[in-house]
Structure 1
């Protein structure tokens, strides 16, 4: 399974950015999305920034990844998916008619 990580730009140039996620830093390509400023949140997949995220979406992805890790380790994870409890699943906007 491949996952995108919600990374935060530390510094960048026209072609790449140094990004951080949970204390890990790596240089990622920004050729698909253009130059980004410090603090921008990016969805990074295989060291390439795929798109810019708003803070709410980045936090939701972060919680989901933390929840998957907690579940895999046998720890409580339900609190990390509080926005999904007691509601019907919804299609993403781009898949709705």
Structure 2
């Protein structure tokens, strides 16, 4: 299974960008985006930035990835899913 990572662009030359997620630095393609600037948050999938993210969405995705890691390690993961804990599941609008 592959996951998209919320990464921050450190520098870019217009076709590729050096991006960071935690301690990881990775050079990725930005050809699918319209010249994203340094500091922009992007969703990276298979070494390609596929779309821009706002700060909140990037944080939620990062929390979910950390929550999955915690669950795999047998740790409590509820703190990473604060937006889901203590509420009833809801179908997305397009499925209602």
Q: Same fold, TM exceeding 0.5?
A: yes
- Per-residue CA deviations over 1:1-25 (Å, capped at 9, x if unaligned) read 1100000000002111100001110
Instruction: Report the 3-state secondary structure (helix = DSSP H, G, I; strand = E; otherwise coil) of the residue aligned with 1:58.
Output: helix
TM-score by length of 1: 0.91
* Offset, 1:59: 0.1
Give the corresponding residue for 2:35: 35
Matched, 1:66 2:70: no
After superposition, the Cα gap between the structure-2 partners of 1:90 and 1:76, relative to the gap in structure 1 and judged at 3 Å, is same
Runs of 5+ unmatched residues, structure 2: none
Query: Deviating runs (4+, > 4 A) in structure 1?
Result: none
Runs of 5+ unmatched residues, structure 1: none
TM-score by length of 2: 0.91
Give the corresponding residue for 1:47: 47
* Offset, 1:86: 2.0
Report how many aligned residue pairs link the two structures. 96
